């Protein structure tokens, strides 16, 4: 499944802050940020339904995140 989220991660330095946490929480998934998109999209490919986990993680580390 591919999940798409609107975020406020708008720079490489912010992606670097999020990277270890996403990799640790979702080790078998593929993900990327589209910083050129107006919604700073996070795309995450994972076998499980992880919407709530992603939104919670992002908010805990200080970012806005909303499933689209």
Q: What is the pLDDT of residues 9-61, one digit of tens each?
A: 999 999 999 999 999 999 989 999 999 999 999 999 998 888 999 999 999 99
Domain region containing 37: 2-67
pLDDT in the model for residue 54: 95
pLDDT in the model for residue 48: 84
- The tally of domains found in the chain comes to 1
Asked if the model's pLDDT at residue 65 lies above 90, the reply is yes
Contact in structure between 54 and 42 (CB atoms under 8 Å)? yes
Read off the pTM.
0.92
Q: Provide the phi-psi class of 35: left if phi over 0, else alpha when psi is between -120 and 50, else beta.
A: alpha
CATH number at residue 46: 3.30.70.100
Residue 68 confidence class, pLDDT cut points 50, 70, 90: very high
Contact in structure between 10 and 35 (CB atoms under 8 Å)? yes
């Amino acid at each position: 499944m591919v999940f798409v989220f609107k975020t406020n991660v708008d720079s490489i330095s912010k992606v670097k802050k999020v990277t270890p946490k996403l990799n640790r929480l979702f080790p078998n998934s593929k993900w990327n940020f589209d910083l050129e998109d107006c919604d700073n999209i996070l795309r995450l490919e994972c076998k499980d339904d992880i919407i709530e986990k992603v939104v919670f993680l992002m908010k805990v580390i200080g970012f806005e995140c909303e499933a689209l």
